[in-house]
Amino acid sequence: MSGMPYMFIVAEGHCRVGLPDGRTIKLEPGDAVMALGGTPTQLAVGGRVSSYADMGEVWDANAGPPTSLEGYERPVDIAWGDGPVGCVLIGSAMTLSHRAGTPPVQKTLPAVLLARDSETRLRFWTAALVQMLDAESAKPSDGFAAISTMTSQFLMAQILRTHLAANAPALSDILDKGRSRALASLMRRLQRHPENAWTLADMAKAAGMSRTAFAEVFARATGTTPFRYLTGCRINAAADLLRNTDLPITDVADRCGYRSERAFRDAFVQAHSMRPLAFRKAQRAKDDAIARA
């Protein structure tokens, strides 16, 4: 579990977090810390800041169960430090995947992102989350893993959207406005029409650039290549069709730009570590668990 992306939100009380640059900042209820690269931080409730190292060390010190990419069927309680409880945190360790390695958005973020409740309004949700987690600890119910995953995604999205909105002017400097609009228009076309037999020349022409300039601008703006982005669009479209329709696998492949079922299967397995049919069954099982919860 060492080095995994993580986030935590102050639910009750207050604490101090030591950041990699040496700063120590007080956290109040609703304040959040997120490190998508797993950068270690330090935590303290009064007194001297004690090493937080990384999520793995805290996990191991509390004899946490073996890590699971599928989540857990009940909350995991972790205590850190001695003395009375001075702060309650809601935490989540995550896994991130992207075909090009590091997700592009991660490259625009600080190693440790601090989000204040005054901006995210997360305090509104924390009281209800604590009650839900307490209830699940006392009486576990089916479907907790699915619910906790979606809750973590919501919290992560709220933190990210607040940060990106506040820093939009700096991020927009990656490209000039004209190229940004052209690139955004092309990316929407790739998302809407993944079935097209796109070539580099086609994409460059649609963006109004030469192939060389287009490839350079695209990589600088997104952190990946045009074809890797196109593959991501195709796989996302396929996942949506598998989740929400009963189309045969061959039809799903064709609608997403794959001319052979084998090519589609290989690309899908590389992205999701399971075959398309297995993915469909897993998603249906997860949806059923949520419906029963």
My answer on whether 188 and 205 are in the same domain is yes
My answer on whether 147 and 220 are in the same domain is no
pTM strictly above 0.95: no
Check residues 139 and 269 and name the one with the higher pLDDT: 269
56 assigned to some structural domain: yes
Dist CA 15 CA 56 (whole Å): 20
The tens digit of pLDDT for each residue in 168-185 reads 555 455 445 567 778 888
3-class SS of residue 26: strand
Which of 120, 138, 170 corresponds to the end of one domain?
170
Number of structural domains in the chain: 2
The tens digit of pLDDT for each residue in 110-144 reads 888 899 998 888 888 888 888 888 887 778 777 77
My answer on whether 162 and 33 are in the same domain is yes
Question: What is the pLDDT, as a whole number, of residue 153?
Answer: 83
Which of 138, 170, 202 corresponds to the end of one domain?
170
pLDDT band, residue 147 (cuts 50/70/90): confident
Can you name the residues that pair with 88 across neighbouring β-strands?
Answer: 12
My answer on whether 161 and 274 are in the same domain is no
Structural domain for 232, as ranges: 175-292
100 assigned to some structural domain: yes
1 assigned to some structural domain: no
My answer on whether 15 and 154 are in the same domain is yes
My answer on whether 144 and 249 are in the same domain is no
Give first-to-last CA distance, the chain, whole Å. 28
My answer on whether 102 and 224 are in the same domain is no
